A and B are shown apart, each in its own frame.
Chain A
Amino acid sequence: MSWVDGVVGSLFAFWLSLSALWQIGPIRDRILGASFIWRFRLLPIYTFFAPNPGIYDTRILVREKFEDGSLSSWSEIPYMIERSWFDIIWNPKKRIQKFFFDCVASIKTTYNTVRNTEDDTSRDIRDATIKLSDGYIGMLNYILHLPLKDETIIARQFIVAEATQASGERVVIPVCRSDFHPVK
C-alpha cells in the first residue's frame, strides 16, 4: 500500500465517519456547525420524513392592491397538479412543490431563530431577517412574477399556510403573511 493509498483511504474513512456524526442533530447544530459545510453541502442529511413527517401541503394565497387603493379578495395559487402513476418515470412538478416546501422550512427556521425578540427595535430586525431569508425571497420572486391580470395592479401580498388532512379533517395553519410588495 503506497502513501497515496493511505491518504485517500483515511480521507474517505474520515468523511464517512463525519457523515454518520452529521446525522445527529445536536452535533450538527453545535459541534460541527462549520458554515463551509453548510455552504458547500459537504455532508448529507438523511433523516427523510423524520422526526417530523411532511404531513402538510404548502398553500399560497395572494391578494392584489390596485391603483385606486382597493384590494382584491384572497385567491389560492393552484400550483399543485394531480399526481399520476406515470410520476415514477417523469415528475418535473415535484421540484416546484419541493421548492415551496423548502421555502416554508426556511421561513420557519429563520422565525424560530429570531422569535424571542420582544422590544420594538428587535421586532423590526426580526421581521427584516425573515424577509431576507432564502425562503421568503424565493416565494416573493414567484409571487411578483405571476402574470398581471390587470394593468392597474400595483402591489401584491401573500399568505403562506400549511394544510393537512392527516386526522381526517382539513386543518390549515398559517405560516406567514407578507407586506404589500410593488409589482412594477
Chain B
Amino acid sequence: MTIFDTYTLTCLLLSISGAVKSLEMAALKYELAPRGIFDWNIIGPTWMRRSPAVGLLARIYSPQGMMGIGLTCTLCGFLSVLFILTDVAPVYGKILGTVIFACMFLLYYRQDLGTDGADQMSFFVSIAVLVCFCLSSSEFINLVGIIFIAGQLCISYFASGFSKLFSSSWRQGLAAKGVLSTHTYGNKFTQDFFKRYAGASLLICWATIGWEILFPFIFFFDGGIFFLGIFVGIVFHLSVGLFMGLNAFVWAFGAAYPSVIYIGTQLL
C-alpha cells in the first residue's frame, strides 16, 4: 500500500463518515428548522454566528445545506473508489481531500451540543489529510500526517482504556451492563442478555479496558498479532455500532486505520 493509496482510502472512509452525519442531520428536518433544537441560529458556536459570513453559514446549516454537504461527501466517496481502482494523477486526490476537509470543517463547527468523539476523530484526520497530503508534495510531510492520524487513534484508545481503569464501575464490571441497559445506548437484546448472563458484564468491561490500553503496542509485534489487533478493533467498532447504535464511530475511527496499517506494514 502506497502513501497515496493510504490517503485515498482514508478519504473514502471520511467521505462515508461525512455523508452519514450530514444526511442524518438533514433527515432531522423539524429539529434543524428555525426554533428546532438543532436550529443553528440558536445552538451554533457564538464565534461563527458573529462572523461576517453569518448569512451564508445559516444557509449551509439549513436542512437543504446539510443535504448538499451529504451529497458532496457521497460524490467524494464514489470518486475515492474510482481513484483507488484506477491510476489517476495525485492532484485529483489532493482536490478530493480538500473538498472532504471543507465538509468536515463545516460539520465539526455546526454546533457544540450533541456532538461526539466520532466528530472529533473525523475532523482531526481531515486536518492531517489537508495539510500533509493535499497541500504538500513532500514525502516526509505525507508521512508526518500518517503518523499523526495513527497517533490520534492510539491516544484515543489508550486514554479511554486508562480512564476506565480508574473507574470503579468499569473495574467492578457494572459499566457495560449499566450502559447497555439504557434506552439510549442499549436495546431489548442487550437488556435481556445482561439479565440472563450477569457475569458477562465483568468480562466485557475488562476485555474493553485491556484491548484499549494494549492497542498502541501492536506496532511492537509481528504480522499475525498486528493484524489480530486490527481485526479486534474493527470488530469492536462494528459491535459498538450494532449494539449501541453509534454508527458514526465505525467510519470516523475506521478512517484512521489505513494509517495504522501503513505504519505497521511499511515502516516497522
A residues sitting closer than 8 Å to B (CB atoms) are 1-2, 4-5, 8-9, 12-13, 15-16, 19-20, 23, 39-41, 44-58, 80, 82-85, 87-92, 94-99, 101-103, 106, 134-135, 137-138, 141-142, 145, 164-166
Q: How far is the CB of A84 from chain B (nearest CB, A)?
A: 8
Cβ 8 A contact of B247, one of A44, A55, A88: A88
CB closest chain-A residue, reference B37: A142
A50 and B186 contacting across the interface, CB-CB below 8 Å: no
A83 and B25 contacting across the interface, CB-CB below 8 Å: no
> Given A2-B138, A51-B164, A134 and B113 touching (CB < 8 A)?
yes
A41 and B160 contacting across the interface, CB-CB below 8 Å: no
State the CA gap A47–B140 with chains docked (Å).
31
A55 and B113 contacting across the interface, CB-CB below 8 Å: no
State the CA gap A44–B38 with chains docked (Å).
22
State the CA gap A139–B93 with chains docked (Å).
43
In the A-B complex, the 10 residue pairs with the smallest Cβ-Cβ separation, listed nearest first, are A55-B178, A99-B114, A166-B178, A87-B245, A23-B159, A51-B167, A53-B175, A46-B156, A83-B187, A92-B24
A52 and B42 contacting across the interface, CB-CB below 8 Å: no
Task: Determine if B59 is an interface residue (Cβ-Cβ < 8 Å).
Answer: no
> Given A46-B160, A48-B117, A54 and B179 touching (CB < 8 A)?
yes
Task: Determine if B11 is an interface residue (Cβ-Cβ < 8 Å).
Answer: no
Cβ 8 A contact of A44, one of B120, B157, B179, B187: B120
Mind listing 27 A-B residue pairs with CB under 8 Å? A8-B136, A9-B140, A12-B132, A19-B124, A39-B45, A39-B47, A41-B112, A44-B120, A44-B155, A44-B156, A45-B120, A46-B155, A46-B156, A52-B167, A53-B167, A53-B179, A55-B175, A82-B183, A82-B188, A87-B245, A91-B24, A95-B25, A96-B28, A134-B43, A135-B113, A137-B42, A165-B181
CB closest chain-B residue, reference A80: B183
CB closest chain-B residue, reference A39: B47
Given the complex, which residues of B lie within 8 Å of A39, measured CB to CB? 45, 47
Cβ 8 A contact of B117, one of A2, A15, A44, A53: A44
> Given A16-B155, A48-B160, A55 and B25 touching (CB < 8 A)?
no
Q: How many residues on the B side are at the interface (Cβ–Cβ under 8 A)?
A: 73
State the CA gap A164–B186 with chains docked (Å).
12
> Given A1-B140, A16-B151, A46 and B159 touching (CB < 8 A)?
yes
Given the complex, which residues of A lie within 8 Å of B166, measured CB to CB? 50-51
B117 and A80 contacting across the interface, CB-CB below 8 Å: no
Task: Determine if B31 is an interface residue (Cβ-Cβ < 8 Å).
Answer: yes
Given the complex, which residues of B lie within 8 Å of A88, measured CB to CB? 238, 241-242, 245, 247, 250
B169 and A52 contacting across the interface, CB-CB below 8 Å: yes
Q: How far is the CB of B244 from chain A (nearest CB, A)?
A: 8
A12 and B148 contacting across the interface, CB-CB below 8 Å: yes
State the CA gap A15–B247 with chains docked (Å).
27
CB closest chain-B residue, reference A47: B163
CB closest chain-B residue, reference A162: B182
* CB within 8 Å of A: which B142-195 residues: 144-145, 147-148, 151-152, 155-157, 159-160, 162-164, 166-167, 169-170, 174-175, 177-179, 181-188, 191
Cβ 8 A contact of A50, one of B31, B144, B163, B245: B163
State the CA gap A91–B242 with chains docked (Å).
11
A12 and B167 contacting across the interface, CB-CB below 8 Å: no
Q: How far is the CB of A183 from chain B (nearest CB, A)?
A: 12
B114 and A102 contacting across the interface, CB-CB below 8 Å: yes
State the CA gap A151–B240 with chains docked (Å).
45
State the CA gap A90–B248 with chains docked (Å).
9
Given the complex, which residues of A lie within 8 Å of B114, measured CB to CB? 95-96, 98-99, 102
Q: Which of the listed residues B25, B108, B148, B242 has the most CB atoms from chain A within 10 Å of its own CB?
A: B148
State the CA gap A12–B81 with chains docked (Å).
28
Task: Determine if B222 is an interface residue (Cβ-Cβ < 8 Å).
Answer: no
B37 and A141 contacting across the interface, CB-CB below 8 Å: yes
State the CA gap A58–B114 with chains docked (Å).
13
